[in-house]
């Protein structure tokens, strides 16, 4: 009986030790995923962060890259003044990555991977421009339609990870609208939240 209990404890300890952390994924990433960072850059960032130091390194373009946030499930890396990367571990076998490019407005790309860095074909949320708009009063609908039409030509949609609520927040950029249309968009354009249900992100 004691031997069975001992073996059970060993197995439990092994399972706990084997749990994947997002830092392990960041460390093991193929170089092509982070072309601005060498593996030594990534290892230095992890060491600095875990020693409560500023996790800033010089990247391949001799610009600053900084690991801003690191938990067991979530990582946010400011790659440069123009881009950031977020990684969120959804379970022990898969995670998502959000790459965001910072121009006048944010524009993001979402992808999913196995914890062995194999790409996953998972349905991605693709909200239309109209879905970001709350109900507009009748007297302002023409202005709203004009703004929506302008935004639909080349929509810039930013995505941010909310690890505590297991959610993705989608935000429609309105910075490039003419001033008149921008004013109405400020009133009625709202973020969209998608929550992870264990299989997909749903609104």
Q: Is the separation of the CB atoms in 51 and 43 below 8 Å?
A: no
Nearest to 31 by CA among 20, 21, 40, 23: 40
The pLDDT assigned to 148 comes to: 95
The strand pairing partners of 159, in sequence order, are 170
Joined together, the tokens standing for residue 161 give 């990870």
Helix, coil or strand: residue 47: helix
Which among 154, 166, 162, 100 is positioned nearest to 129, based on CA atoms? 154
pLDDT of 33-81, one tens digit each?
A: 999 999 999 999 999 999 999 999 999 999 999 999 999 999 999 999 9
Helix residue ranges, H only, the chain = 2-17, 22-28, 39-50, 141-153, 179-188
Predicted TM-score (pTM) of this structure? 0.85
**pLDDT tens per residue across span 108-148:** 999 999 999 999 988 888 999 999 999 999 999 999 999 99
């Amino acid at each position: 009986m004691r031997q069975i209990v001992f073996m059970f404890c060993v197995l439990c300890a092994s399972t706990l030790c084997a749990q994947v952390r997002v830092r392990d994924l960041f460390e093991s990433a193929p170089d092509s995923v982070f072309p601005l960072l060498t593996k030594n850059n990534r290892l230095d960032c992890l060491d600095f962060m875990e020693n409560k130091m500023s996790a800033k390194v010089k990247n391949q373009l001799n610009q600053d890259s900084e690991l801003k946030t690191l938990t067991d499930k979530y990582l946010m890396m400011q790659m440069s003044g123009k881009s950031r990367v977020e990684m969120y571990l959804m379970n022990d076998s898969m995670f998502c990555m959000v790459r965001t490019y910072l121009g006048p407005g944010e524009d993001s790309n979402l992808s999913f991977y196995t914890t062995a860095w194999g790409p996953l074909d998972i349905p991605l949320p693709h909200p239309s421009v109209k879905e970001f708009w709350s109900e507009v009063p009748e007297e302002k609908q023409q202005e709203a339609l004009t703004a929506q039409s302008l935004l639909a030509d080349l929509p810039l949609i930013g995505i941010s990870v909310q690890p505590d609520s297991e959610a993705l927040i989608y935000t429609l950029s309105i910075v490039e609208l003419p001033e008149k249309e921008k004013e109405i968009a400020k009133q009625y354009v709202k973020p969209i939240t998608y929550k992870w249900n264990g299989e997909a992100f749903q609104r």
